[in-house]
Amino acid sequence: MTETIQLGEIDIAVTRKDVKLVHLSVHPPAGRVTLVAPTGTRLEVARAYAISRLGWIRRQQARLQAQARETPREFVERESHYLWGRRHLLTVVERDCKPGVSLDHKRIHLTVRPGSDPAKRAEVMHQWHKALLHEVVPSLIAKWEPRLGVRVAAYFLQRMKTRWGSCNHTAGHIRLNTELVKKPKHLLEYVIVHEMVHLLEPTHSDHFTAILGEHYPTWREARAELNDLPLAAEVWRE
């Protein structure tokens, strides 16, 4: 059960779990705040802790607000697009054939039917992004399954509003944000490992951190790098 603490204009979602310490987090892109407290913690105690960290919360939210954000993409000639952390220029070809995307050195070639609008062009690009991820994700999962001693029953790719990934511990499924195709590949690997560790430990407990630290010692640096990269410009809809 999740309860909410309100401190002025800040809403904090409080969840009680089997953890030893309180975990306070400010999540990109919008600065959503969560607090995970040990089972049995009274809401007044959680509130007092949140108040003691209010300055830190506001600094983190300000950092996210100031963080670079991608300008909205219109999918036009010579527009910049990122792929695996590298900048590419877009070439648009209007042709009466099946839409598609190809990569040639530093150019991304987008082929669309004449008169296609930005939304259609965006969807063609998104399907290409998913195809690129499908080429990479299975081998990364296969690499880490024996190391972690887990099995991923299935993975899914989708646009996600506030997360880079998620895990359904019971079903053995992981989900990955398709925006990861724009980031360096080692950050995609970090997110995959993070979600696979959740198959061993569903919560962000000390046990989870210990497992992640043992197998992926640079996870904190990877998380910081991922969260410092430009945020997507899309207007997300539920």
pLDDT tier for residue 233 given thresholds of 50, 70 and 90: very low
Q: What are the backbone angles phi and psi of residue 74, rounded to the nearest 5°?
A: -110, -10
Q: What is the pLDDT of residues 127-162, one digit of tens each?
A: 999 999 999 999 999 999 999 999 999 999 998 877
Mean pLDDT of the chain: 89
Edge-first strand order for the sheet with 86-94 is 80-83, 86-94, 107-112, 100-104
Instruction: Note if the pTM is more than 0.75.
Output: no
pLDDT digits (tens, 9 = 90+) for 177-186: 999 999 999 9
Decide: 216 and 186 in contact? Cβ < 8 Å.
no
Which residues touch 30 (CB under 8 Å, ≥6 apart)?
A: 64, 162
pLDDT of residue 232: 57
With a cut of 50, say whether residue 216 has pLDDT above it: yes
Distance CA 179, CA 227 (A): 12
Q: Which CATH superfamily is domain 119-228 in?
A: Metalloproteases ("zincins"), catalytic domain (3.30.2010.10)
Q: What are phi and psi of 185, to 5 degrees?
A: -65, -30
- pLDDT-derived band at 73 (thresholds 50, 70, 90) equals confident
Q: Which pairing describes strands 32-38 and 10-17: parallel, antiparallel, or unpaired?
A: parallel
Distance CA(96)–CA(101), nearest Å, equals 14
- Which sign does the torsion angle of CA 191, 31, 60, 29 carry? positive
67 has pLDDT over 70: no
Burial 61-92, CB ≥16 within 10 A → b, else e: beebeeeeebeebebeeebebbbbeeebebeb
pLDDT digits (tens, 9 = 90+) for 165-207: 999 999 999 999 999 999 999 999 999 999 999 999 998 888 9
Domain coordinates in residue numbering, the chain: 2-66, 119-228
